[in-house]
Amino acid sequence: MKIIFLGGQGSGKSTQAKLISRHLKLPLIEMGQLMRNKARQNDQEAAQVKEALKSGHLVKNEIVIRTLHERIKKNDCRLGYILDGFPRNNAQLQSLPQDINRIYYIKISDKEAIKRLKIRKRSDDRKEALAKRLEIYHKETEPLLDGFRNRGILDEIDGERSIEVIHEDVLKKVEKI
């Protein structure tokens, strides 16, 4: 089974992806964490990733796509995986494996996202970077949702409820796949 969780920063998509990953015993691939790990390396690509994360811009598509494809080729993904935060734009969409079973879009308002992100306290969560990431999300990621909706693989989830209620909602939907 191959499932994607999408949503703006602070939507809770990573929390829900982790819970479903544990429930289904499938590996969790968090694109944000893969990029933060890459930024810690000591090479030119790492410097580019680090700068993109710091400024709130998206990491270059070639780097993100190559990193994802290297990860999903690993043996632990042979039965499926839970993917968190990919695709983010049309170029990434074009590289998305076609055998995705379901996409869960965790939807929250920008106001709620900012409120949550102020609490989260992560090094790349500076106010300017957060605003830039939300702007990019609305401009580049949200338009992808129509294509998933048209393919019949998109479920929209109200992300402004408690973690437990959202998880129960997602679990019910997953069990129907």
133 labelled ligand-binding:
yes
88 labelled ligand-binding:
yes
13 labelled ligand-binding:
yes
12 labelled ligand-binding:
yes
97 labelled ligand-binding:
no
126 labelled ligand-binding:
no
Residue 6 half-sphere exposure toward CB, CA atoms < 13 A: 26
11 labelled ligand-binding:
yes
122 labelled ligand-binding:
yes
64 labelled ligand-binding:
no
161 labelled ligand-binding:
yes
DSSP state of 41: S
57 labelled ligand-binding:
yes
159 labelled ligand-binding:
no
Alpha-carbon distances, residue 99 vs 41, 81, 90 (angstroms)? 31, 11, 17
Q: How far apart are CA 99 and CA 79, in angstroms?
A: 12
**Alpha-helix runs per DSSP H in the chain:** 13-24, 31-39, 44-55, 61-72, 90-94, 110-120, 127-136, 144-151, 163-174
15 labelled ligand-binding:
yes
Annotated binding site for AMP: 36, 57-59, 85-88, 92, 122, 133
Annotated binding site: 10-15, 36, 57-59, 85-88, 92, 120, 122, 133, 161
Annotated binding site for ATP: 10-15, 120, 161
